[in-house]
Every structure is written in C-alpha cells, then in structure tokens.
C-alpha cells in the first residue's frame, strides 16, 4: 500500500513532466508503427511527393490540433470569450495562447523528428520532387532523373542511381537532428527570458502554483456539495409537489470573475 502511495505522490508531483514523457513516447511509437505497417512508397513519379508529405505533415497537424483540444486551459480561455468584450484580445490572452501552442507543439514536433530520423517518409517525398531530383542527379547518369522515383523501392536500374538512397537517408537524419537542436535551443531561450522578466521571485512563483492548485481543488469540492444540495431540493419539490424556497446560487457575473 505504501509503495502504491509513493508512486501516486510521485505522479501528482511531476504530473506535467510525466504527461509530456508519455505523449512523446506514444508519438514516437506510433510513428514507428505507421512507417513500418501502413507506409509503402508508391514509387511513381506523380504520387511520391504528395504521399511522403501527407505522411510527414498531416499526422503532425492532427496531433497539434488534438493537443489544443485536450488542454483544459484552451477551453477556460475560450468559453464565453466572444460574449466578453475585453480579456480575450489582451496581453494576458496572448501569453496564454503562446504557452498553449508550445505545449500542443510537443507531439507534432516529436512526430516530425522521429519520422526524419527514420527517413522513409523523407526519402519517398524527396525522390518525387523534380527540383531536388535535378540537384541530386547533377553529373550522373542521364537516366537518373527518370529512375529517381524508384529509388525508395530499391528498383532503380543502374546501381549508381540506387546508391542515392543513402544520400537521401543522410539528408533526412541531418534534418531531423537540426530540428531537434533548434527546438531545444528556442525553448530554453524563451523560458529563460520569460523567467528573467518576471517580477516575482522563484519561491513566490512556487507558492502561487501551490495556491492555484489548492484553489482549484477546493472550488471543485464546494461545487460538488452545492450541486448535490440543489439537486436534492429540486427533486424533493418535484415528487412532493411543494416548491422549495429560492436557493442561493452565485450569479453568472461572479462565475466569470473567478474563471
């Protein structure tokens, strides 16, 4: 029992870190599964480029939007946003929006990075692009440009052209590492600057985080109690035919204040 509690405590303490880790792992696993089972480069001049790009970018887009949708803060910001005149377009809204985007971008960036390191999506897309093809084939066999789309399937005729597969894979993996490096550096700079500009100190920030968490918890408990009582009154009224006294509920304006 003690062990279970320790695990639960650890879970509550590092919830967001754990969550990000799980998302990253699931995305990476999903990418490996997709590129192994579903992905099969058509090796035709017309379809290579769109096919590769669709597999590289559409799942990333889907993950990005899902990241937005699954975040509770998105909905807290949006709900009733059009009804209010201020508060949405303000500076605070912008900051929250940027933070949300950063959190939602984790999964799609993982997808793209893992896909580039794996290489198969990029090989397929690049071998179908005429611009890249003419650059790759410069100074080689004249049939190179024509045979290039067949490279990802290993069916290109002169073995010299088939060797281009290694070049494509190298390009893809270099791109993947560059992407990872850029993202990490960008994230670090952003966090540092925002922390540096904050008017409150480290301990105070920690205190506010604890306070916000506690407030959420207490608000939820109180709301649950309140709702139970209200429901009980109304049901009693219905079955016994005697309407209850007016029940004291916070107004819509009060609710908007604490959100």
In this structure, what DSSP letter does residue 164 have? H
Q: How far is the CB of 147 from a copy of itself (least distance, A)?
A: 14
Subset of 190-219 contacting a copy of itself (CB under 8 A): 191-192, 195-207, 210-211, 213-215, 217-219
Contact 43, 150 (CB under 8 A): yes
Q: How far is the CB of 238 from a copy of itself (least distance, A)?
A: 6
Q: How far is the CB of 197 from a copy of itself (least distance, A)?
A: 5
Contact 158, 140 (CB under 8 A): no
Q: How far is the CB of 142 from a copy of itself (least distance, A)?
A: 20
Subset of 150-189 contacting a copy of itself (CB under 8 A): 163, 166-167, 169-171, 173-174, 177-178, 180-181, 184-185, 187-188
Contact 135, 106 (CB under 8 A): no
Contact 127, 148 (CB under 8 A): yes
Subset of 16-75 contacting a copy of itself (CB under 8 A): 38, 40-44, 46-47, 50-51, 54-55, 58-59, 61-62, 65-66, 68-69, 75
In whole angstroms, give the CA distance from residue 115 to residue 120: 7
Contact 116, 173 (CB under 8 A): yes
In whole angstroms, give the CA distance from residue 230 to residue 34: 50
Kindly state the tokens that stand for 40.
Answer: 């099969």
Size of the site for a copy of itself (CB under 8 A): 97
Query: Site map for a copy of itself, 81-120, x if CB under 8 A?
Result: xxx---------------------------------xx--
């Amino acid at each position: 029992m003690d062990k279970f509690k320790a695990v639960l405590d650890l879970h509550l303490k590092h919830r967001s870190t754990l969550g990000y880790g799980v998302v990253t792992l699931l995305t990476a696993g999903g990418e490996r599964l997709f590129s192994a089972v579903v992905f099969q480069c058509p090796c035709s001049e017309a379809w290579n480029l769109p096919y590769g790009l669709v597999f590289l970018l559409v799942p990333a887009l889907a993950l990005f939007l899902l990241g937005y949708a699954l975040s509770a803060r998105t909905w807290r910001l949006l709900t009733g946003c059009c009804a209010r005149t201020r508060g949405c377009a303000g500076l605070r809204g912008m900051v929250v929006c940027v933070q949300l985007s950063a959190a939602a971008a984790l999964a799609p960036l993982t997808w793209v990075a893992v896909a580039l390191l794996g290489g198969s999506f990029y090989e397929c897309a690049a071998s179908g692009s005429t611009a890249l093809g003419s650059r790759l084939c410069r100074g080689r066999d004249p049939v190179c440009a024509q045979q290039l789309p067949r490279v990802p399937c290993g069916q290109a005729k002169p073995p010299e052209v088939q060797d281009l597969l290694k070049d494509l894979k190298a390009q893809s993996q270099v791109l993947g590492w560059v992407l990872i490096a850029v993202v990490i550096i960008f994230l670090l700079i952003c966090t540092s600057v925002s922390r540096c500009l904050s008017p409150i100190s480290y301990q105070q920030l920690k205190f506010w985080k604890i306070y916000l968490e506690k407030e959420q918890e207490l608000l939820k408990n109180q709301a649950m109690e309140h709702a139970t009582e209200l429901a009980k009154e109304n049901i009693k009224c219905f079955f016994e035919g005697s309407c209850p006294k007016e029940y004291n509920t916070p107004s819509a304006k009060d609710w908007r204040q604490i959100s």
